[in-house]
Amino acid sequence: MEYQVIIVGGGPSGIFAALTLQELGVDRIILFEQGKDISQRQRNISSDILCGWGGAGAYSDGKLTLSTEVGGHLGDYLDQKSFYQLLMNADKIFVDYGAPDRLFGDLTPEVEALADRARQADLELIPTRIRHIGTENCQNVLSRMHDTLSNQIEIRTGCGVEKLLAKNNKITGVKLESGEIINSQFVVAAPGRSGASWMKKEAESLSLKTKASPVDIGVRVELPATILKEITDVTYESKLVYFSKTFDDKVRTFCMNPYGEVVNEEHSGITTVNGHSHARKKSENTNFAILVSSTFTEPFDDPIAYGRYIARLANLIGGGTIVQRLGDLLDGRRSTKARIDRCLTNPTLENVTPGDLSYVFPYRHLLSIIEMLEAMDRLAPGVNSRHTLLYGVEAKFYSNRIHVSPDLETDVTNLFAIGDGAGITRGLLQASASGMIAARAITDRIK
């Protein structure tokens, strides 16, 4: 074989697979990344936001969540003690490459008191320890990892993989978009979020068993940082879960960004909304997502298509992202530029259209979001203010989950599927940890 290991994808899962393989003494490793090198990626170019060295994590606000309860499905393959230790090991690597030392969310009396208050408001606070890297620091950390690996393995950026190759149900290598065939004993498929559709296509081609994942649809909420200061000072990011009174749907907060900014994202021609926090640059606002989980059975079983439809509807009505004051939504009227200008919350996203989100969301989702804001207001008065801003649509398109072994090996021998693109994880730390699992399994077989 030309190589011992091919890694497809240069996001966190692929990077950590390479770092672990190299540390364990495996040689003849090549990594393909369809996007640009980290030094060439630009935030104002939509194709660079999710694709390139570092994956979607390069322009995220860099939250490492040291919890076995959120961030993916690795807990299905490991016992709790081993799982937590793996997350700690992955976290240490980030720190070694420049992530800040400080951790938020230790189980202190203040956190326990906050959890008690949340229960009184019909909310569950999931205690999590979080390391916040910061958007600008993420790129520095990922650049250092690239510098280390570029001296140890072969890296080809701007080089897409067209197809995974297998014979007699055993992986043999890959075919590049250029037509070149690269042979290898092992292949690690780590395509990330931007490669999820490619991973789905390859899974079908190789007859891999998959399971549809739910889609989370909702809004990005923005309000003055002082309203949530008591919470964010203690936990940085509060992960709150609520079950709506009317429909009993699961509703949760996600990606809370104290003193952060709201941003647009592009997904295959669809504009959605997200949020970031910087390590040093601060705004006067805090933003977070409220997401409603949607799962379908029969006859319809394509939650990703459903989420894309709602996002496209917002783009159709607003020409992109829509912003609305909560007071206007509750009064049954659209927001206008004049009403947004009078709002006590100054929006941090400029390229946005004042409008009416009730034309976008199904009644079930909209009511669940409103109920969640009412519950949060009992925990932090001011959340349910008429001056709170809602941006839509925020949607999390989780990839179809590929059936894998505890080593994250697929039904095709020596083909491993890891990270967000394989539906195994949903965040930076678990994605990184999944790369370590696959790398250790491969090393054991080689040696």
**Per residue, what are the HEC states of 371-432?**
HHHHHHHHHCCCCCCCCCEEEEEEEEECCCEECCCCCCECCCECEEECCHHHCCECCHHHHH
Residues 241 and 339 in one domain: yes
| Average pLDDT value for the chain | 93
In a domain, 362, yes or no: yes
Q: Do the Cβ atoms of 75 and 426 come closer than 8 Å?
A: no
Specify the pLDDT at position 445.
96
Residues 225 and 366 in one domain: yes
In a domain, 251, yes or no: yes
Specify the pLDDT at position 259.
95
Q: Is 26 helix (H, G, I), strand (E, B) or coil?
A: coil
Per-residue pLDDT at 88 exceeds 70:
yes
If you average pLDDT over residues 174-201, what whole number do you get? 94
* Predicted confidence band of residue 1 (pLDDT cuts 50, 70, 90): low
**Can you tell me the distance from the alpha carbon of 95 to that of 368, in angstroms, rounded to the nearest whole number?**
38
Residues 375 and 437 in one domain: no
Residues 284 and 332 in one domain: yes
59-82: per-residue pLDDT in tens?
888 899 999 988 899 999 999 999
If you average pLDDT over residues 300-311, what whole number do you get? 85
Structural domain boundaries enclosing 146: 3-104+129-211+400-446
Q: How many domains does the chain have?
A: 2
258-294: per-residue pLDDT in tens?
999 999 988 778 999 999 888 788 999 999 999 998 8
Residues 83-89: contacts with CB under 8 Å, at least 24 apart: 86/433, 86/436, 86/437, 87/429, 87/430, 87/433, 89/433, 89/436
In a domain, 273, yes or no: yes
Residues 388 and 409 in one domain: no
In a domain, 69, yes or no: yes
Residues 256 and 198 in one domain: no
Per-residue pLDDT at 339 exceeds 90:
yes
* Predicted confidence band of residue 188 (pLDDT cuts 50, 70, 90): very high
Residues 87 and 198 in one domain: yes
In a domain, 116, yes or no: no
Specify the pLDDT at position 69.
87
In a domain, 120, yes or no: no
In a domain, 122, yes or no: no
* Predicted confidence band of residue 48 (pLDDT cuts 50, 70, 90): confident
The CATH number of whichever domain residue 439 belongs to comes to 3.50.50.60
Specify the pLDDT at position 419.
95
In a domain, 429, yes or no: yes
344-367: per-residue pLDDT in tens?
999 999 989 999 999 999 999 999
Residues 85 and 164 in one domain: yes
Residues 207 and 286 in one domain: no
**Can you tell me the distance from the alpha carbon of 250 to that of 369, in angstroms, rounded to the nearest whole number?**
10
Residues 373 and 224 in one domain: yes
Residues 423 and 300 in one domain: no
Regarding pTM above 0.85, the answer is yes
Per-residue pLDDT at 124 exceeds 70:
yes
Residues 302 and 426 in one domain: no
Q: Of 397, 417, 434, which marks where a domain is finished? A: 397
